[in-house]
Chains A and B, each alone.
Chain A
Amino acid sequence: MVTKQVIHGIYDDEVPLLEGCKKLRAAGIRIKDVFTPFPIHGIDPIIGVPRTRLAICAFLYGLTGAALATWMMWYMMVTDWPTDIGGKPSFEYFMAVPAFIPITFESTVFCAAHGLALTYLLRCWLVPGAKAKNPDPRTTDDKFMIYLELNDEQSVKAGEILTATGASEVNHKGTITEKEH
């Protein structure tokens, strides 16, 4: 078991916050999370968030959508009950393929978009009835916060860096214990 100190570094603006993040990381301190009222572009590499894999999910969902639509239309319009599409031959799928492309496109977009949104919401556990995990409600208004969980030695250093980079408050929020990995 390790005991860690919880520190909230509160800033009034995003520019000094980014500066604080850079300094903390340069000092070898791991940033647990950052809470801001609006998304800050380009913050991910600065606070050490690994590259998102949502894009790969989106691609796979899109592929699924295209495959589903193709299979559906092939079964309904060609195999099960060959349908006359504006006088176009329907003996084989490829013969009337221009007519199938809009549906394939729509299905691809539908699956990619819905799959992506659902994955995102589930991964962040933003489900109905989920409790807000925001440690300080002021970060939904006009404050910017760096959230840290550190050992004693690091927390002293982190406090210095936070103050030096212009944090308006450095709040020590007690300790938490977590299992050693």
Chain B
Amino acid sequence: MSNLNFTIPSKAKMFTYILMAIGVISIIASFLTDTQPEDAQYHQTRTWANIFIDSFFFMAIGLAAAFFMGLQYAAEAGWATTIKRIIEAVAWYLPYGLCFMLLLFILGQLHVHHIYHWMAEGVADVGSPNYDAGVAAKIGYFGWFWWLRTILYMAGWVFFTWKLRKNSIEADNAIGTDTHHWKNVKLSAWFMVLFAVTSSTSAWDWLMSIDTHWFSTLYGWYMFSGMWVSAIITIIMLIVWLKRLGYLENVTESTVHDMGKWMFAISFLWTYLYFSQFMLIWYADIPEEVIYFQQRWENFKPLMWTVLGINFAFPMILLMSRDAKRNFWFLTIVGTVIFIGHWLDVVMMVMPGTVGHHWTGLSWMEFGIFAGFLGFFINILLRNLASRPLQVKNHPYLDEAIHHTT
């Protein structure tokens, strides 16, 4: 039997701490330098937006991994059983990511930062200097109702992720029974229903409401496909790294191949949704819809093309063949590039609505704060991995997964 107990290599731990240190220094330096005294409305928005982007990006990876974990149960899929613990480890970043989000929301409500235009004081009061008729008309959807939804999303997601993980570890100690598995199948079915609705609505509430006057029903799916592919990449990276360290003997090349297929397929899902949203808005040419792409076209044109180019062309050209999806180097390189690509996609969702015309291009601020959050993210993943055996026991599909071939 191969070694199932993962111990964190000290080098890896050191690496995450270095990244976190870079992040902390970047955040402090950003707050010190990111001032625009001539604009009273600015309030270090770029730094806050960066923190928001990275909090959200990594939280979304945890969420998508939780969804992916539930999907395997609900579909009664056996192939991913050997990597179940890795998916679980990524999913359990969710509560940490949500803490950052909650903190940011509370700070926003206290007017420390101005990411959300609709959170501004007196935005719905006629006569207030901040009065905005467009927001006032739909203020019922924001305010306390927004907070209620936010709390419900967070509680619901964490509950299901926690319960699925708990049943999974309890099944390891149970003797000759798969009741835990069937509990999880039922639980996942409910989680899928919850996720189907809340993944869209949370994307509207948390990200789309930054561009308060603009709306798109496709936005939620577009957001979801981006975070899904990022989660797939994270899982692939962990598998490849752990296999290089000599763990995960039972994870076959075929399982990695299947993960490669997911990365390839979801990249196209993302492209499809990105383009669908763009084309409908371009075609209809309605001013209140076009504004979204106009802002991006004017101040963010190179970045806009980069995001589309990287996330579409890179996986299409490099991951099309079977051999590429079975080659760890290919998967790592393509994965790294489109991981950055999808992070830039989130940058493109947040920056135009917050920093807007103050934008001067990507700088050390973006990358430094990203590095910090990446370090924290990896650190949590390593701890999650080390806290449990790397392979499930007593899972009804385990044997099938070990002999999985494609």
The residues in B between 304 and 340 inclusive whose CB is less than 8 angstroms from any CB of A are 320-322
- The reply on B285 being an interface residue by CB < 8 A is yes
Contact (Cβ within 8 A) B406 A101: no
With the chains together, A55 CA to B322 CA distance in Å?
10
Which B residues lie within 8 Å of A55 (CB)?
A: 321-322
Which A residues lie within 8 Å of B275 (CB)?
A: 98, 101
How far is the CB of A62 from the nearest CB of chain B, in Å? 10
- The reply on B216 being an interface residue by CB < 8 A is no
The answer, among B283, B322, B405, for a CB contact under 8 Å with A99, is: B283
Per-residue B-contact encoding for A35-72, CB less than 8 Å = 1, 0 else: 00000011000000000000100010000000000000
With the chains together, A37 CA to B60 CA distance in Å?
44
How far is the CB of B391 from the nearest CB of chain A, in Å? 22
Say what secondary structure dominates the interface of chain B.
helix
- The reply on B14 being an interface residue by CB < 8 A is no
Contact of A98 with B285 at beta-carbon distance under 8 Å, contacts A41-B405, A42-B406, A55-B321 already known: no
Contact (Cβ within 8 A) B285 A87: yes
Which B residues lie within 8 Å of A99 (CB)?
A: 279, 283
Which B residues lie within 8 Å of A42 (CB)?
A: 254, 405-406
How far is the CB of B83 from the nearest CB of chain A, in Å? 18
How far is the CB of B252 from the nearest CB of chain A, in Å? 10
The residues in A between 20 and 42 inclusive whose CB is less than 8 angstroms from any CB of B are 41-42
Contact (Cβ within 8 A) B278 A86: no
Contact (Cβ within 8 A) B282 A98: yes
How many residues on the B side are at the interface (Cβ–Cβ under 8 A)? 13
Contact (Cβ within 8 A) A98 B279: yes
Contact (Cβ within 8 A) A98 B278: yes
How far is the CB of A41 from the nearest CB of chain B, in Å? 4
With the chains together, A45 CA to B39 CA distance in Å?
68
* Chain A, Cβ-Cβ closest to B280: A98
With the chains together, A99 CA to B281 CA distance in Å?
11
With the chains together, A86 CA to B285 CA distance in Å?
9
* Chain B, Cβ-Cβ closest to A40: B405
Say what secondary structure dominates the interface of chain A.
helix
Contact (Cβ within 8 A) A101 B279: yes
The residues in A between 92 and 113 inclusive whose CB is less than 8 angstroms from any CB of B are 98-99, 101-102
Contact (Cβ within 8 A) A86 B321: no
Which A residues lie within 8 Å of B283 (CB)?
A: 86, 88, 98-99
With the chains together, A30 CA to B279 CA distance in Å?
56
How far is the CB of A71 from the nearest CB of chain B, in Å? 21
With the chains together, A41 CA to B282 CA distance in Å?
45
Contact (Cβ within 8 A) B406 A41: yes
* Chain A, Cβ-Cβ closest to B322: A55
Which A residues lie within 8 Å of B279 (CB)?
A: 98-99, 101-102
With the chains together, A87 CA to B285 CA distance in Å?
9
How far is the CB of A91 from the nearest CB of chain B, in Å? 17
Which A residues lie within 8 Å of B278 (CB)?
A: 98
With the chains together, A173 CA to B42 CA distance in Å?
88
Which B residues lie within 8 Å of A59 (CB)?
A: 320
* Chain B, Cβ-Cβ closest to A51: B322
How far is the CB of B320 from the nearest CB of chain A, in Å? 8
With the chains together, A31 CA to B279 CA distance in Å?
54
With the chains together, A101 CA to B278 CA distance in Å?
12
Which A residues lie within 8 Å of B405 (CB)?
A: 41-42
Per-residue A-contact encoding for B269-280, CB less than 8 Å = 1, 0 else: 000000100110
Which A residues lie within 8 Å of B406 (CB)?
A: 41-42
Which A residues lie within 8 Å of B285 (CB)?
A: 86-87
With the chains together, A55 CA to B275 CA distance in Å?
26
The residues in B between 106 and 125 inclusive whose CB is less than 8 angstroms from any CB of A are none
How far is the CB of A22 from the nearest CB of chain B, in Å? 14
* Chain A, Cβ-Cβ closest to B272: A105
**Interface pairs (16), CB distance under 8 Å:** A41-B405, A41-B406, A42-B254, A42-B405, A42-B406, A55-B321, A59-B320, A86-B283, A86-B285, A88-B283, A98-B275, A98-B278, A98-B279, A98-B283, A99-B283, A102-B279
* Interface positions of B (Cβ within 8 A of A): 254, 275, 278-279, 282-285, 320-322, 405-406
Known: A42-B405, A42-B406, A55-B322. 15 other contacts (CB 8 A): A41-B405, A42-B254, A55-B321, A59-B320, A86-B284, A86-B285, A87-B285, A88-B283, A98-B278, A98-B282, A98-B283, A99-B279, A99-B283, A101-B275, A101-B279
Q: Which 8 A-B pairs have the closest CB atoms?
A: A42-B405, A41-B405, A98-B279, A86-B283, A98-B282, A41-B406, A87-B285, A99-B283
